[in-house]
Chains A and B, each alone.
Chain A
Amino acid sequence: MSSSVDNVLGNTSLDRFDVVIVGSGAGGGAAARVLATNGLKVCILEAGNNYFRGLDDPDTDMPRPLFSNDELKLSSRGLIEQQAIVEPRTFRALGAQVDRQLVGEVNNLPKTVGGGWVHADMQCPRFNDFDFHLHSELGDIAGASFADWPLDYDELEPFYAACERLQGVQGLAGADPFASRRSGPYPLPPGPPMYVDSLLRGGAERIGLHPFAFPGARNSRPYRGRPACNDCGLCSMYGCPINAKGSVAMLRDALLTGNVQLRYNAAATRLLVDSSRRRVTAVAYLDADGNPAEVSGDRFLLAASAIESARLCLLSGLGNGGLGNSSGLVGRNLMFHHQTISVGIYREDFHGERGRSVTGGFSDFRGVPNDAQRPLGGIVEFGTNSEKIQEAATYMVELGFRGAALKQFLRDRPLGAHLAALIMQGEDAPQLDNRIDLDPAVRDINGLPVPRITYGTHPFELAAREYYGPRLIDLHGAAGAQFAFVAPINEGGATPSSRHIMGTLRMGSDPRTSVTDAFCKFHDLDNLYSADGAPMPTSSGYNPTLTLQALAMRTAGAIVDPARPESVIEGDA
């Protein structure tokens, strides 16, 4: 089934599709696997390029990625990133009475076959039981729009388990005392902890916390045809040179069924609808040469990320009270994680270029709802710095050191090998006016309006920052740091740094207060679904990808068997 046609992977002879998926990332790949293994014919449109050679080749040596331990290529020059110079986004702070305050890069996710799941370091915690009914727990909070999910943890659990099994998530069941119940163990044991993890784990234990091996979709042993991770260090923000990450595991399964055609360098520009205005008939896109093209199908899944999926709706007239948007909520309730990052500087050299970015953490600071003692925060990751160019540029460009002083910083490496980071993925309260819409004037190089992000923080996440920030500093002290502080947030002038993007096509059972239903189908359209982070009503305090994949898999399962979506997860694979 290996394709030799330019910019196409999979079965090139397919020309009629049951389902068209926009986006080949974490959600699109999970959905495609369920659909294709159940015999549906699927077309995937991917705006970016393919760097997994032989992704559709059944040979066991495949795929052979073109990624490498090359900081210049992946990080500085952005091989798999959306290039803001031709595809900018714009930003303004919530309440700012201007069209925009920034034009450029705003929370970009990779644009490549495999999507954001390629550059991720593959952290895979599940959400917690209470995340699915947080509005009921908390009640109304002024200025926030918390909502219960139209499903509960138990409904999602089989899909969580399937995503873990199919991608090879390493972890230790029971190690996180705050995690919700599991139907089985992790498929793979944890890999070796990094040196920085060992030190921070000791500090966490000394102050009474419960650290554990962070679950992640990186093989700790050879698994499902992929090699074990050898801890090459350049993991977060990099594609895996040996395909030990599960980034495209489910996408490859889908391609190997013969039921999938993946057109890459194919950027969706518009959804076309029929005269009833309740059915999407086709997706218009620009092909690899920039020429307009279309693909039609019976059903359509948006899996381009919460920002790009909402943008595509708005480009198609699905917004501002228009088609498919009777709730008026398309693009609203945009959420990121409010990351509270505490930097510790140690005399120890953490050699962060060895390992896999993050191997440990704890979820004590996620907390529980309505705890009078402390607010809801988020899971905390143990990190360090693995990049060299970026470290040097910090001293040279940002801090302005020159000459002999610069040499001293380059040799001492205080913000490189000696830096440990505690990263709390704090829950971001949903707010109606945190949103994406189309910038009124700024265009991408193809002439299309770019997404404009309007965002401001809510006291909810600032309270968590204020409460847990000093405790993160104390953890550094207990772990042996010489210095520790909480990195500032750039309120107003810039965007949240988190690449966890959620909301914008909120799911719910009431069409007046949500865009999509309990199976992520648009209330107002008969055949349009959301299959990325966009349907999430709340952001939780855990890395979101496994949850968005489980949701996408459940949506695909419901397309195959509306009565029992969990029964078709495996299909005929």
Chain B
Amino acid sequence: MRVTRRRFLGLVGATGAAGLWWAPGCGDDDSTTQVAHFFTSDERLVVEDMAAALVPEDDLSAGALATDAVELIDRFLAAFDSDPPAIFGGGPYSGRSPFPDPRTGMPTNDYPDNDFTEMLPLTRMQELAFRILLDGDAAVTNGTINTGIVPPNPGLRAIYRDGIAALEQAAQDAGAASFGELDAEARIAAFATTTPDFRGALLQNLAEGMFAAPEYGGNRDRRGWLDYDYDGDSQPLGYTLFDADSEPFDRPDKPNQTADPNRPARPFSPEVERFLTAITAAQGGKRFF
């Protein structure tokens, strides 16, 4: 990038205008949208208690609860209670990022509408796929066509119901009045007694709930992105800016071509470093320093 005097002043001007550069748009609030849920209030509590043990809160970053990760799961399992089903958000923009000025390349105060909240209609094949995924292979015509070759698929809703029941049973077996009475260690021990399908689903869905776009119900206040060094969606501004009369250039607040001063190089924590040392050795790799 060639920084001209005009360009330099332009950058200073933009970054100096408080709130202009990265003012989030109106994309996070979906309170006017009717959303359907799946869990009973008791079930929801069990899932949240489990999630809190798997991804706990601490002083440095939000966990599953503060990001409201379970809300995404609760909505996904009830996806077909909405029309169109709440599976694929619309596009292209969330409204969190502004349009660039075509003359200067700089962000404007013009934010697009939030398209993410407008769910896309499903094709016939997509609907069949997600019906099976959520309700099981017996829920659709031909869903069990490969019975005898692949194991029966009970569907995620049943997997969750059974998994929650197993967690409650484990609590009872431990003499607790409810699952929430177990401490984190005991909850994780109970989790290990549930089926692989449930464990895999809950962990994958919690990752989604913490880090997916907020329109799906989780990642509350973008804590999943803000607390874990991730920008989230950036269109229509993006990271390479174009003005009317020069080469493309980086945003000063979030550079693409160079290191980001807000995300500097840093050593890994000792336990991460131990893990990296171990997998590098196991794969016959090299540790350079």
Contacts and interface: CB of A to CB of B under 8 A. Distances in A.
Interface string A347-361: 111010111000000
Contacts of A327: none
B16 interface: no
A303 B232 CA distance: 35
Contact of A76 (B90, B208, B210): B208
A573 interface: no
Interface string B116-154: 100010011110110011000000101101100110010
B286 A407 contact: no
Secondary structure type dominating chain A contacts: loop
Contacts of A487: 283
Contacts of B54: 396, 402-403, 406
A419 to B, nearest CB: 10
Secondary structure type dominating chain B contacts: loop
B259 A195 contact: yes
Contact of A83 (B89, B129, B242): B129
A241 interface: yes
A230 B203 CA distance: 33
Contact of B129 (A85, A241, A486): A85
Interface stretch (B34-42, B170-178, B211-219): B211-219
Given A87-B125, A389-B212, A443 B145 contact: yes
Contacts of B263: 349, 351, 417
B114 to A, nearest CB: 10
B271 interface: yes
Interface stretch (A120-128, A186-194, A422-430): A186-194
B11 to A, nearest CB: 16
Interface in A342-374: 345-349, 351, 353-355
Contact of A407 (B55, B208, B266, B283): B55
Interface in B31-89: 53-56, 58, 60-61, 63, 87-89
Interface stretch (B2-10, B17-25, B158-166, B233-241): B233-241
Interface in B240-261: 240-242, 248, 250, 254-260
Contacts of A198: 257-258
Interface residues of A, number: 93
B285 A485 contact: yes
A87 B89 CA distance: 23
A330 to B, nearest CB: 25
B248 A191 contact: yes
B255 A195 contact: yes
Contact of B229 (A64, A346, A349, A445): A349
Given A403-B54, A408-B272, A103 B146 contact: yes
Given A86-B132, A198-B258, A414-B268, A68 B228 contact: no
B53 A403 contact: yes
Interface string B195-213: 0000010011011101111
B240 A231 contact: yes
Contacts of B284: 485-486
Contacts of A354: 231, 234, 239, 254-256
A288 B124 CA distance: 7
Contacts of B145: 443-445, 447
B279 A485 contact: yes
B287 interface: yes
B257 A290 contact: no
A482 B283 contact: no
A277 interface: no
B129 A410 contact: no
10 contacts: A68-B233, A70-B212, A72-B216, A195-B258, A388-B228, A397-B203, A397-B204, A411-B229, A441-B149, A447-B142
Given A265-B124, A347-B265, A389-B211, 17 more contacts: A68-B93, A70-B213, A79-B120, A85-B129, A85-B133, A85-B153, A194-B257, A353-B234, A403-B184, A407-B56, A409-B272, A411-B61, A414-B268, A443-B145, A485-B283, A485-B284, A486-B284
The 5 closest A-B pairs by CB, nearest first: A485-B285, A230-B238, A68-B91, A69-B233, A241-B92
Interface of B: 1, 53-56, 58, 60-61, 63, 87-94, 100, 115-116, 120, 123-126, 128-129, 132-133, 140, 142-143, 145-146, 149-150, 153, 184, 188, 200, 203-204, 206-208, 210-213, 216, 224-225, 228-242, 248, 250, 254-260, 263-269, 271-272, 275-277, 279-280, 283-289
